[in-house]
Amino acid sequence: MGSENQFLTTLHVDALGNLGVYDKKVGGDSSASPKLYRPGGMGPPVAYPVLPVPTTITLTRVYDLTRGDQTIVAQLKQQSGRSGATVTEQPLDQNGNAFGPQTTYRGILGSVKGGDVDSNSDNQRLYMVDVIVTSIAN
C-alpha cells in the first residue's frame, strides 16, 4: 500500500538550477480524445487513434523566507514561459527510501503564483509553479 505522502517531488529549472523538494504535485497525467467516425449505411463507428497530450503540472510548497523563496519566486516569474523545466517524482517506501523508478516530466515553466495575502489569516503562505509538460519518461 502507498499514500500520497510517499513521493519525493523535485523541480529543476534550466535557467535557475535545482529548486529542491515541493510539497504537492497535481497533474502530469496523459490525456487523449480518440476520434470516432461513423461510416455511411449505418455502419458501426470506427475509433481512430490520436497522440496523447500530457496535462500541466502544478507544484506547491510553503513560502519559506529562510530558503530564499522571496528571491526564488521573483526569479521564477522572470523565467515564466521562457525556461525549460524538469519535474521528477520518486516513489518512497514506508521508511522514506527510494522505491522503484522515478518518473521524469520535461517541459516549459508556465505560470508562477507567489501566494495570497490576508491580514486576518494565520494560514501558511503557499506558492505554486506550473510546468507545461511536453514529455514523460520512466
How many Cα atoms occupy the beta-carbon half-sphere of 89 within 13 Å?
Answer: 21
Does 53 fall in a domain?
yes
On whether the CB atoms of residues 9 and 28 are closer than 8 A, the answer is no
pLDDT at 2: 76
Give the pLDDT mean for 25-36.
Answer: 94
| 132 located within any domain | yes
CATH number of the domain at 108, please.
Answer: 2.30.110.20
The answer, yes or no, to whether residue 1 has pLDDT greater than 80, is: no
Q: What would the grid cell of residue 68 be?
A: 530564499
Using the predicted structure, report yes or no on whether residue 88 has a pLDDT greater than 70.
yes
Average pLDDT score over the chain: 95
Check residue 137 and give its pLDDT.
94
Domain that holds residue 126: 7-31+44-137
Alpha-helix runs per DSSP H in the chain:
69-79
With 70 as the cut, is the pLDDT of residue 33 above it?
A: yes
Q: Is residue 37 part of a domain?
A: no
Reduce the DSSP state of residue 65 to 3 states and report it: helix
Q: pLDDT of 35-70, one tens digit each?
A: 999 999 999 999 999 999 999 999 999 999 999 999
